[in-house]
Amino acid sequence: MDESQENGAEAKTGERESVLTVRGLTVGFGGPTVLEDLDLDVYRGEVLGFVGGSGTGKSVLMRTVLRLTQRQAGKITILGKDFDQLTYEERLAVDMRIGVLFQQGALFSGLTVLENVQVPMREYLDLPKPLMDDLARLKIELVGLRPEAADRFPSELSGGMIKRAALARALALDPDLVFLDEPTSGLDPIGAAEFDELIARLRDTLGLTVYMVTHDLDSLSAVCDRIAVLGRKKVLVEGTLDKMLSFDDPWVKSYFRGKRSRAVFNEAGDGQKQ
């Protein structure tokens, strides 16, 4: 049991502990709102797949939850802390418990993989260099990169290696919650499947909670415990794949029961998540 659980700080919903709770969220940029009165829960230890049509506001939601975009209304509680009540020190403490992998990997091109992984350590911790080197090498190993990748620059890496290196950086501070923005985009099917396996392993071994924006139907079927669908400025539905498959909404139906989806989900067969 970690410190916040002991304090009873994180919201419990039934049996499940919500590490991210969004209520009544409205976000806009001066024109029509992008998100309106949106509710969402992410539970500890799950991989939540977040889907929605292009331009529906998936990135806006993620950026708002990361406090990179301002909101007009709504309450956000993350890791038991109400956004509006955070002191400066609490904000830092929350930020240290969150990892982010942006869509393009967003590694610093002038830094090696090892140095990239150390960026959050330098930002938040004051550690001696040998210790930081050891920690960074452990993270690099954790994401399945070979040790020699540590000294390579991003331009010397394949797409799959860049994603893994970016994930190693997101995991640098042992976060509780990781945000992944389309982590398998640009990977070939084998690389994408391997990345999905890695995410599942991190969830199972570290108890990591993962919020994953994705268009990848294979990922939704293979690794996501629950799915949330964004549409008409709200989360239209959240739940298991089975729930998506039976949900009565035109977009949800065409997404989950279209030709391509049927091929993926029928193959998943009885292996679908509960």
Ligand X SMILES: Nc1ncnc2c1ncn2[C@@H]1O[C@H](COP(=O)(O)OP(=O)(O)OP(=O)(O)O)[C@@H](O)[C@H]1O
Q: Which positions touch ligand X (CB under 6 A)?
A: 29, 34, 52, 54-60
Rank residues 57 and 99 by Cβ distance to ligand X and give the closer one: 57
- Shortest Cβ 106–ligand X spacing (Å): 15
- Shortest Cβ 13–ligand X spacing (Å): 26
- Shortest Cβ 76–ligand X spacing (Å): 16
Task: Answer positive or negative: Cα dihedral of 249, 252, 254, 257.
Answer: negative
- Do 22 and 74 meet the contact criterion of CB atoms below 8 Å apart? yes
- Shortest Cβ 258–ligand X spacing (Å): 17
Rank residues 176 and 182 by Cβ distance to ligand X and give the closer one: 182
How many angstroms separate the CA atoms of 246 and 229, rounded?
13
- Shortest Cβ 215–ligand X spacing (Å): 7
- Shortest Cβ 74–ligand X spacing (Å): 16
What are the residues facing 50 on neighbouring strands?
Answer: 213, 228
Q: Which residues contact 251 (CB under 8 A, 6 or more apart)?
A: 53, 229, 231, 236
HSE-up of residue 114 (Cα within 13 Å, Cβ side): 16
Q: Which residues contact 255 (CB under 8 A, 6 or more apart)?
A: 51, 229, 244, 261
Rank residues 54 and 109 by Cβ distance to ligand X and give the closer one: 54
Rank residues 54 and 266 by Cβ distance to ligand X and give the closer one: 54
Rank residues 34 and 140 by Cβ distance to ligand X and give the closer one: 34
How many angstroms separate the CA atoms of 154 and 165, rounded?
9
Rank residues 203 and 233 by Cβ distance to ligand X and give the closer one: 233
How many angstroms separate the CA atoms of 127 and 238, rounded?
41
How many angstroms separate the CA atoms of 29 and 115, rounded?
36
- Shortest Cβ 37–ligand X spacing (Å): 16
Rank residues 10 and 182 by Cβ distance to ligand X and give the closer one: 182
Buried b (16+ CB within 10 A) or exposed e, 153-173: ebeebeebbbbbbbbbbbbbb
